[in-house]
Structure 1
Amino acid sequence: MYVITHPESTHHVDGLVGGWYDSPLTATGLRAAAAIAETLRAAIPAHAEVELYASDLRRTAQTADVIGELLRVPPVLDPRLREKSYGEAEGKPQEWLRERFLTPPAVGERIGHHDGIPGSETMGEFGERVYAAMAAIMVSDCAYQIVVTHGGALTFTVASWTKLPIDALAYARFHGASGSITELREDDYFRNRQVVRLGDTSHLATTLG
């Protein structure tokens, strides 16, 4: 499985809160999506069966469209793969969120902690949603799967694939920069699941400068 975090979108450059705010990719983001697609094309055998899934927000759907066009596979859009909802903060300046955001405690309830923003999700609600999407994806025995999602959702995507319980993520996070590729692999003998590479952006260096 290859997990892609969508590349640069307009909310990044405008300094706005993302979440479910439906921002498109920038021109730089579209070039990065093309670099991601080329990298996947080189890694996946030409005649292999491939499944492609993505969050239904524009920035992820656009990324999946670029990948799907090159690999000749239509993306399946799933709203459960969206980023964490930040409720009323979405589309507002990051400073607006910082002034109101209630950080989780160092000790105590963290997964169920609410950040104080009306309409936002807790990390537990966010995680359960992404875990449900991944459970549906992992039913398939397709040899190669690609999941296009968001930076915050990467933690739950990787953790669900490795079968970590959500409660184990009270502190742990998996980080991947925008436009990164994470490679997950299950071996054919022991059926162990490995994180082969996490948040790799080497494919962007030569393409974007």
Structure 2
Amino acid sequence: MRWIWVRHGRTAANVMKRYIGHLDEPLDEVGVDQVDRLAEAFRDFPITRIYSSDLRRAQATASAIAQVHQQNPILTPALRELNFGDWEGKSYEEIAQGDALLLSRWLANPCEIAPPNGERLEELGARFEQWLRSELGQMQEEGTYLFVTHGGPIRWFLSQYAIPKRSFWDVTVPTHGDSLVLDVICSEEGFRYRVDFMIFCSGILSE
């Protein structure tokens, strides 16, 4: 089974390096160009089904790819970014000024520490994996499934099922508008994957 993880195109808040987990930011001009390039890069892929976070930046990315394949993306909040709570819309510097100690604790242990009124990484992983497993029964072993999501869910999956398991922050994820193509084996115990190649917003393939 082939899974394609696509990180949504760029937003203005991304440029300003603000935490925008559940904030519903649109793509900026560069982001629109990125997803158009991605859609073209995926034109000849036999994509079985397209899933997407229900936030606008992901929806716009998924819709561009889906249009090429004459599909409608399946939207779900399970693919949303981490909820940053009171940190939403703030930069690292602004958060550090307000509560440097909590920020330090969160960076050291995001699985168990949450932003104020936000979500622990463990909670993101639980809702993400619960949804993923609910969809497995509808997936074909020879199918290709494309997921448009955010940096957090991609990083969580790659760290959780790396062999050996890796720290969340030690995993490199695609930048905005890029994607990662994986060959995946699913079992009751979890998922195993092999990185196949990456597709960048320029449409260049990297083995």
TM-score range, shorter chain: 0.7 to 0.9
Cα pair 1:25 1:62 within 8 Å, conserved? yes
Matches of 2:83 and 2:95, distance apart in 1: 12
Cα pair 1:111 1:169 within 8 Å, conserved? no
Identity of aligned residues (%): 24
Q: Which runs of at least 4 in structure 1 moved beyond 6 Å after TM superposition? A: none
1:171-202 superposed Cα distances (whole Å, 9 cap, x missing partner): 64342211111101148xxx97322135x42x
1:182 maps to which of 175, 180, 183: 180
Residue ranges of structure 2 left out of the alignment (5+ in a row)? 186-190
State the partner residue of 2:118. Answer: 120
Matches of 2:16 and 2:89, distance apart in 1: 10
1:21 maps to which of 13, 18, 23: 23
Q: What displacement does 1:168 show?
A: 5.8
Between structures 1 and 2, the one with greater strand share: 2
1:124-173 superposed Cα distances (whole Å, 9 cap, x missing partner): 1111122122222333233111000001211223456x5879x8646643
Relative distance call for 1:36 and 1:205 in structure 2 (3 A) is: closer
Greater mean alpha carbon deviation, residues 151-160 or residues 59-68: 151-160
| Partner SS state of residue 194, structure 1 | strand
TM value normalised by structure 2:
0.79
| Partner SS state of residue 173, structure 2 | coil
Cα pair 2:38 2:65 within 8 Å, conserved? yes
State the Cα RMSD in Å. 2.9
Q: What displacement does 1:39 show?
A: 1.0
TM value normalised by structure 1:
0.78
Q: What displacement does 1:93 show?
A: 3.8
Relative distance call for 1:152 and 1:105 in structure 2 (3 A) is: closer
| Partner SS state of residue 184, structure 1 | strand
Matches of 1:192 and 1:15, distance apart in 2: 32
1:36 maps to which of 30, 35, 38: 38
State the partner residue of 1:136. Answer: 134
